[in-house]
Amino acid sequence: MDTRRHSYRAIALILVCSIVAASLSGCRAFRGGRHGGASVVEGDLDAALDGGPTTAQGYLEQADAQLNAGDKDAALQAFSAAIEMNPKLFRAHMGMGDIYRETEDYEQAEKSYRHAVESNPRSYEANYFWGMVLHQLNRIGEAIRAYRAALTLQPRSHEANLNLATAYLQLDQAIEAYPFAKAAAALQPDHGPTQANLGVIQAAMGQHEEAVKSYHKALELLEPSPEMVLNLVESYRVLGRHSEMANSLEALVRVEGSAAANERLGFAHFKLRQFDESIKAYRQALTFDDQYFPAMNGLAVNLLNQFIRSDRQNVAALGEAIELLRQSLQIERDQPRIVELLSRYGR
């Protein structure tokens, strides 16, 4: 008896900057060139007398040197000084955004990248990194708009397609996510997280045969994770491939058992009419979490089955089943099928 379907979850919610390191040199690429001249700010005599920069370009060069020396705080001050001289200085906003993102100060990074986009709306990197930090801040709708803007500038961007698909999936919009997930997989077919996310989206759309293929590709490219295996076996369940479901879960629980994995294993054995193995798996699930009501329900159904198969003589099995059903309803009241079972056998 399937008491609670495994919910689909994206394997990787957000691609961090390291994923794009091979294709982009990062925001620091913006610190080496000129983006328009800058004049000496009137009244900047102190800096001139101290031998410091007197132009925005000078502060940019100082920031680059400080970054090369590993002094991010000093680099931030130099970028800020450059922006005071030229508020629309794209490279300075990008430089500050880069530093804030690297130090995981996403609120400040968002402001810097937003200013960078305002200064240069045609920059793919500014739009993409703005989307990334918005995504980190869980501002999903805004992140989607930024990723889409980035894709209008670079339609073949793997990372933007993948992150956009993931963002749509987080909003439970699998249909909107699908074309971008498919594009990401076509652009980098050997990228494991891309194949895994495609599988999640295909499953959410009911395309379980295709989802299984994507999960298998992902498992060839990545170390298997419990989340990925649980997603795979959910598609096996929908397709009625219970032997493969059981085999995958047996391999998983040997390495890393859990209430969810053992409960699903109990279900698979039950569907295969391997009732002793099913009871064992459900009991094992409850050793991981004695409040995990799906395992209570599965074990109760097995015990009711024992009671019926004994010509209703195994009253011990019936008594344990009734107690499990009552405990389950105390944890989660919204279970009409369990209420029905209890009313039928609990009298």
- CA neighbor of 67 nearest in space, from 89, 87, 88, 96: 96
Query: What are the residues whose beta carbons fall under 8 Å from the beta carbon of 179, sequence distance 6 or more?
Result: none
CA 272 to CA 265: how far, in whole Å?
11
The answer to whether 3 and 340 have CB atoms below 8 angstroms apart is no
Instruction: Give pLDDT, residue 252.
Output: 97
Which position has the token pair 């009244």?
Answer: 43
CA 72 to CA 66: how far, in whole Å?
7
Q: What is the DSSP letter of 50?
A: T
Instruction: Give pLDDT, residue 28.
Output: 42
In this prediction, the residues of the chain whose per-residue pLDDT falls under 70 are: 1-52, 347
DSSP 151-205: HHH-TT-HHHHHHHHHHHHHTT-HHHHHHHHHHHHHH-TT-HHHHHHHHHHHHHT
Sign of the dihedral through C-alpha 103, 17, 123, 150: negative
- Please name each of the domains of the chain with its CATH number: 240-347 (1.25.40.10)
Instruction: Give pLDDT, residue 66.
Output: 86
- CA neighbor of 265 nearest in space, from 297, 233, 290, 296: 233
Instruction: Give pLDDT, residue 50.
Output: 47
Alpha helices in the chain (DSSP H): 45-49, 56-68, 72-85, 90-102, 106-119, 124-136, 140-153, 158-170, 174-187, 192-204, 208-221, 226-239, 242-256, 259-271, 275-288, 293-309, 315-331, 336-345
The answer to whether 165 and 180 have CB atoms below 8 angstroms apart is yes
CA 149 to CA 120: how far, in whole Å?
12
Instruction: Give pLDDT, residue 52.
Output: 62
The answer to whether 218 and 195 have CB atoms below 8 angstroms apart is yes
Tens digits of residue pLDDT in 124-141:
999 999 999 999 999 999
Phi, psi of 59 (to 5 degrees): -65, -35
User: How many residues are recorded in the chain?
Assistant: 347
The answer to whether 165 and 174 have CB atoms below 8 angstroms apart is no
Instruction: Give pLDDT, residue 63.
Output: 87
pTM listed for this prediction: 0.82
